[in-house]
Amino acid sequence: MDSYFRESRNIELSILYYVETSIAANWSNVTVVKRFLDAYKSSLPVIAINLSTTDNNYKEVGTTSLYNDYIISIDIFAKSDGQRLDLADFIMDKLKDGCTYYTHSQTSGSPETLTRVAGGYIHVSRFSMNSRIDFGEEDGVDVYDRFRHFIEIAVRKN
């Protein structure tokens, strides 16, 4: 029996898959993880992607149909300031065009293996933040936080 995920999880996994495959096709030795804390367990450079919030708004007055804007947080942990800028530009360039929405499922015999089926499109509805994270002086800052960058976007499924 297959276990299907709801829209929020499918949005997160679709964005993660898109960035992961885009990075793998164009960069070497860059790890993409789902959980922020997993970034600290991988070798630099690392990109952590997760769905942080969902904004729900009625499509029109008097209806129960909603627009769901999914807020995606992307943390970049780079080896240098130049690499931080290059990765941020690359990710923004890829995400601006949107990506395929996949419905994901897992099989009971192998829950760690996901099956994905294309089922729509995800487009960016808002670019909220694209900024360096500055912790002050470099000497006292952890190597993972020395060249950090944060991107936040809102996406919507078509």
**Full pLDDT tens readout for the chain, 158 residues:** 445 789 999 999 999 999 999 999 999 999 999 988 899 999 999 999 999 999 888 778 888 888 899 999 999 999 999 999 999 999 999 999 999 999 998 877 777 788 899 999 999 999 999 999 988 776 778 888 999 999 999 999 98
Tally the C-alpha atoms within 13 A of residue 58's C-alpha that lie toward its C-beta: 5
Q: Report the sign of the C-alpha dihedral through residues 26, 21, 48, 12, in that order.
A: positive
What domains sit in the chain, N to C, each tagged with a CATH number? 2-157 (3.30.2000.10)
| Residue 1: predicted pLDDT | 40
What pLDDT is recorded for position 138? 66
Residue 106 confidence (pLDDT): 83
Task: Identify which of 93, 98, 154, 109 has the alpha carbon closest to the alpha carbon of residue 127.
Answer: 154
